Structure 1
Amino acid sequence: MRTLSPLRGLCLVAIASTPLMAGADPGEQAIDRYCSGCHQAGGDDNGWSRISAQRKTPEGWDMTVARMQTMHGLELPLEARRDIVKFLADTRGLAPEESAPQRALIERRLNRIESFDHPSYQEMCARCHTGGRAQLQRRPLEEWERLVHFHVGQFQTIEYQAMARDRDWFELALDEIAPWLAETQGLESAAWDAWQAQDAVEPAGDWQLWGHWPGEGDFYADVTITAAEGEDAYALTLDGAFIDGRELDGEGQAIVYTGYEWRANLSLNGRDFRQVLDLSDARPAGRIFDDHDDAFGMRVEMAPREAATPGLTASLPASLKAGTRSRLVLLGQGLADGEIDLGEGVSVREVIERRDHRLVLDVEAAADLTPGWLPLAVGDVGADTLLAGYQAVDRLEVSPALGVARVGNQATPPVSGVFSALGYLGEGEAAIPLGRVPVRWSVAPWDEIAEHDEDAKYAGVMDAATGIFTPAGAGPNPMRRFNANSVGNLRVTASVEGQEAVQDEAQLIVTVQRWNNPPLR
């Protein structure tokens, strides 16, 4: 029989003696039952010590609860954990204005270069985890100071690691970093007060969603969201297509935290994804990603299917090449009636689908098409900077400029390298974005060391058509010198099809597995 530590036993005694609040929120009840033995209940706000002096994202609170379980032995049913995170995110979360600067971290957009308005924050804190993780919290000074003490107590070697042993890390953290965080990210804020005074966003209804699926192409879908059983719980269905006509369908379940933070589990064409959206804007945006390979994902936008005012919202694709025939999808409102005019040099061969919020057209761009923006008009609805025409691509831009992929196996799945190439017409600030243009992808050694070690041979395979790099398997590779792992340092090159001289490059580091994989890194 397992024995309890003295501290654990004291916590259980205190929990058993804490009365549950009649009619309280399930999350509030769960905190009183499972947490108040160590976090004293009461105070001016009827909250709990330490807990009530912090505000975080849903992921931040979930990581806190997980730490209580793994480091302090908290035994917590899954349903209670969900209730606690929901309650804390709703009552002690972040306003949209506060989470906005770090949406990329929340959406698992990898390969970002962070920068902060403090001379040593990057070296002091963001050397072990992303700096954005702390930027997604709000605490008073004493709580930031306690966080410093926690780091030194929990991670005893922190002051002896690189970028710490060359300075008085502990004193700098207390005297400089904690006050700066308290000043820039204090517990109280006008943004949070204003958001709490607003009504929560109601997502139920009919929407249109669009984005780009790596390796598959641009897509669009009609999304129907309905209320489900549970607080702020929803079910959704997706009925759409890729612009080449292939079907796309899906379904999912979602929960809304803090009145605007949408979190969903989706199945799209039989593949499982996570979805993160910010519902606070009139046109919600976010990301759909593979939870096991979060480099693989897609930025998406949504708009109400029945908008208040007519207008054109999006064009898929964003450009047409002279002398080609293609399928064009226009999204918006008020598109059911009226003449369709795509500008001089673009003819409509067939109207494949016409609805009030969507047009699917078979179009042809003339060989002598004049490069530039194409003035669009559908009846009384128009747009001058939504669709471009081009003869040739003037400039190519590959992103990310620095990518990281990871080898893997069944225990720790690989993380792909996913690249995109955007074309431009013209140069400088006046350049017209063409969106994704047809390119061919290749990899080569980044430097002499990578060439000597044959990294391009062993690190993985680049799909020449899609820009998706699949890393090799993890573990010692007997084919390599010293049985080295299949890591590598590669140069990724994209070349415009038919214009091979128009290229751009990026660096790809293929490295080992990520063993610690929290929601916020």
Structure 2
Amino acid sequence: MKHALPAGLCSLALLMPTGVALASPGSEAIDSYCSTCHQADNGSQNWSRISQQRKTPEGWDMTVARMQIMHGLELPSEARRNIVKFLADTRGLAPEESAPQRELIERRLNRIESSDHPEMQAMCGRCHTVGRSELQRRDLDEWEHLVHFHVGQFQTTEYQAMARDRDWFGIALDEISPWLAETQGLESDAWEAWQQAETISPEGDWQLWGHWPGEGDFYADVVIAAAEGEDAYALTLEGAFTNGRELSGEGHAIVYTGYEWRASLSLNGRDFKQVLDLSEERPSGRIFDDHDEALGMMVELSPRDAAEPGLAASLPASLKAGARSRLVLLGHGLAEGDVDLGEGVTVRRVVERSDSRLVLDVEASSDLTPGWLPVRVGDQHHEQLLAGYHSVDRLEVSPPLGVARIGNDKTPPVSGVFTALGYLGEGENAIPLGQVPVRWSVAPWDEIAERDEDAKFAGVLDAATGIFSPAGAGPNPLRQYNANSVGNLRVTASVVGQEAMQDEAQLIVTVQRWNNPPLR
């Protein structure tokens, strides 16, 4: 089951061969603004260079921006939006093709890349992410055109680090281009199948949940309604954090390629962007701060009415022995029946109950047996949804290597955001406990960082939340040589009440990014 276009309104542009697709505002805009350089093929909706590529919505938007910046294309904002929408719909990526690089699309930038080709990191990844290359599909001629463009537009390409020690141009043409054409060619079975797939509207009632760094676990009812424009939607959100604090918001969204949801949201008065993959029955993705992409939260959604009865999520994911907690169970068919959380867990009060949500005041006994707790609500039960524990056996800080950036009003800082996940047991059978209470601390990473007092100058780590706020940009007169307030730091999480249980990560605090495209 896929969620995208309104039921019965499956896009004809997706289902018909490109050459006979119906005219649209996007194709008309390409004819008006692009066909001077990109020749149309005898009145069909094929254009030279354009029709030999497929990209994400962000990829097409970057292409249009490059035409404006480098070639002087004058393009009204509405025409730009129409062009990107049309190209993403008719020359996009199938869910299977974009899946390996969802982290890049969702702006989860603290990740360590790898590639199946041993030369990709040196050849392409030294200037931009390898993922940016892997979110494109081209035929061989177009991949070769891209190599020529790089050398012609960026004349120092062959003389930079990791290029001048090899025949960069020769390797790019003779090795990289053929490999990309074979592994990321224009035609694919996945894209062919997706163009023929039935798509279903996201309109309706949903429930959403996730963890907001610094704020806590949250859940919300989301209502999505059609808005003016092709595949455009408005949404409202009403919910709460598990501590009872209210959460509300609204926003507007557009769906590209039948499944790529892009939204602008206001949540509790703060501006966010939202990226979702609607191709599965339970959509998922990320919400991130409009001004600081590091401040974000992974979320899942489930339709409130259409799903089969069952338990979908528990907030939190674990209960500590001897502690009293507020527990939120999400799913379907939860309105009736007895609630049983297993021996050792007492339900003191039902705070809220509906078909899709159960909010409970619970207490775990001090002699609780560690492990999975059998959760049962009426006829619904789940054996691996909620865990109980006395102590944490393993702690894992994420990301293991983070990057924060100093900033100012013109180039806002980028925070460092860390989470600590606990586990019961070791190895493959370890039981995930989710977020566990920890205290955070920061120290110099090495002797050089200690000598330069990086922990003093680079910024401040919140001991309760794991959020690092970088210092301001610009020369710092208090540092040797008036250096910037950059640093190389060690971030450590210690379990509250179990301080010997720790894990750590490295945090690089560096200078601003001056070029911030949607796909890095």
What percentage of residue pairs aligned between the two structures are identical? 80
The one-letter code of the counterpart of 1:269 is N
Match of 1:506 in 2: 505
Instruction: Return the offset for 1:256.
Output: 0.2
Alignment-derived partner of residue 424 in structure 1:
423
Closer, same or farther: CA 22–259 of 1 in aligned 2, 3 Å: closer
Equivalent in the alignment of 2:439: 440
The 5 A counterparts of 1:70-469 are 70-469=69-468
Q: CA deviation at 1:45?
A: 5.5
Runs (5+) with no aligned partner, structure 2: 1-19
Which SS does the other structure have where 1:51 is aligned?
A: coil
Q: Deviations over 1:24-69 (max 9, x none)?
A: 2000110000000000011596410000000000000000000000
Distance 1:23 1:311, change over 3 A: closer
Shift of residue 292, structure 1, vs aligned partner: 2.0
Distance 2:510 2:198 in 1: 46
- SS of aligned partner of 1:39: coil
**How many Å apart are 1:307 and its aligned residue?**
3.6
Q: Say whether the 8 Å CA contact 1:459–1:471 is kept in structure 2.
A: yes
Q: Using a 3 Å threshold, how does the CA distance of structure 1 residues 22 and 455 change in structure 2: closer, same or farther? A: closer
Shift of 1:22: 13
Q: Hey, what does 1:34 align to over in structure 2? A: 33
Q: What's the offset of the Cα at 1:200?
A: 2.8
CA distance in 2, matches of 1:173, 1:136: 18
Correspondence 1:478-517 to 2 at 5 A: 478-517=477-516
Deviations 1:353-403 (A, max 9, x none): 000000000000001101000000000000000000000111100000000
Q: Is the Cα–Cα contact under 8 Å of residues 21 and 45 in structure 2 kept in the other structure? A: no
Output one character per residue of 1:454-508: Cα deviation in whole Å (capped at 9) or x when no partner.
0000000000000000000000001111110000000000000000000000000
TM-score norm. by structure 2 comes to: 0.95
Shift of 1:182: 0.1
- CA displacement, residues 412-448 of structure 1 (integer Å, 9 cap, x when unaligned): 0000000000000111111110000000000000000
Aligned amino acid, residue 513 of structure 2:
R
Corresponding letter in the other structure for 1:311: G
State the alpha-carbon separation in 2 of the partners of residues 513 and 259 from structure 1.
Answer: 35
Partner of 2:385, secondary structure, is: coil
Question: Amino acid of the residue matched to residue 309 of structure 1?
Answer: E
Contact 1:201 1:280 (C-alpha < 8 Å) held by counterparts: no
Partner of 2:15: none
Aligned residues: 501
Paired position in structure 2 for 1:9: none
Aligned mates of 1:520, 1:73 — CA distance in 2: 22
CA contact 2:208–2:301 (8 Å) conserved in 1: yes
**Secondary structure at the counterpart of residue 449 of structure 2:** helix
- Of 424-433 and 398-407, more deviation after overlay is shown by 424-433
Greater RCO structure (CA 8 Å; 6+ sep): 2
Rate the CA distance shift 1:105–1:293 in 2: closer, same or farther, 3 A: same
Q: Read off the aligned partner of 2:310 and give its amino acid letter.
A: G
The secondary structure found in structure 2 opposite 1:320 is: strand
Q: Residues 94-147 of structure 1: CA distance to partner in whole angstroms, max 9, x if unpaired?
A: 000000000000000011111111110111001100000010000000000000
Q: Distance in 2 between matches of 1:400 and 1:426?
A: 21
Q: Tell me, yes or no, if the aligned pair for 2:27 and 2:45 is still in contact at 8 Å.
A: no
8 Å contact 2:417–2:466 — kept in the other structure? Answer: yes
User: What secondary structure is seen at the aligned counterpart in 1 of 2:59?
Assistant: helix
**Would you say 1:58 and 2:53 are equivalent positions?**
no
Aligned to 1:5: none
* Residue identity in the other structure for 1:125: C
Deviation at 1:199, TM superposition (A): 2.5
Aligned-pair distance for 1:157?
Answer: 0.1
Deviation at 1:306, TM superposition (A): 1.4
3-state SS in 1 of match to 2:264: strand
Q: Distance in 2 between matches of 1:75 and 1:482?
A: 45
Residue 23 of structure 1 and its aligned partner are, at CA, apart by 7.5
Change (3 A) 1:353 1:446: same
Gaps of 5+ in 1: 1-20
Shift of 1:308: 3.2
